[in-house]
A and B are shown apart, each in its own frame.
Chain A
């Protein structure tokens, strides 16, 4: 069964550094998402992406965050200058269309020191 793939599984970085989290969505899917889960808290929506542009973003997704689909397969989340409070599990998801279910990757644990 096709899966959403995320790399790396764990990323450790120093505060102020830039990080790029990578995702390979399921190949025939057109909608891509990033969510995050801070330890002990809810899974929170960050951004959705369709047709090479952001279709929706939450209040969490400020100017420090950006997303990109650099080629036909990857979907990346960049955090420009990481803060301690960015430490969380980041989940990528994809769906065939708006009404279909979202399939999640295994997540990248980001630790900001």
Chain B
């Protein structure tokens, strides 16, 4: 079974402060991990995937297979980072398994 856990529902941070969103997963095989973001009144869109190893909009995420984690980090939050963030896992099949999501509010 594929399972993704995002522990906090709501995260409020001040502009310029670091942001870290936690994601842990459960999967017996070799997973592919993603972070999707949903800005207000917009569609779900891909932010990062672990195989790309890129930094997008200042965000990074490292897959830690030992801790089964894929935490999302940004050193300095911006107001435009306010959004819903979903961690997702793809196992040996097509389907994406999502976490419950984190609502991030960046306070000016």
Contact = CB atoms under 8 A, between A and B. Distances in A.
Range of interface residues on chain A? 20 to 34
B43 A106 contact: yes
Range of interface residues on chain B? 10 to 19
Contacts, number: 46
B22 interface: no
A42 B95 contact: no
Interface string B58-100: 0000000000000000000000000000101000011111111
Given A41-B100, A42-B100, A43-B86, A104 B44 contact: yes
B12 interface: no
A58 B96 CA distance: 11
Contacts of B101: 42-43
Contact of B98 (A43, A58, A101): A43
Interface in A46-60: 48, 55-56, 58
B100 A105 contact: no
A98 interface: yes
20 contacts: A33-B95, A35-B96, A42-B98, A42-B100, A42-B101, A43-B88, A43-B96, A48-B94, A48-B95, A56-B93, A58-B95, A91-B44, A98-B94, A101-B34, A101-B49, A103-B46, A104-B43, A104-B44, A105-B43, A106-B42
Interface of B: 34, 36, 42-46, 49, 86, 88, 93-101
Interface of A: 3-4, 31, 33, 35, 41-45, 48, 55-56, 58, 91, 98, 101-107
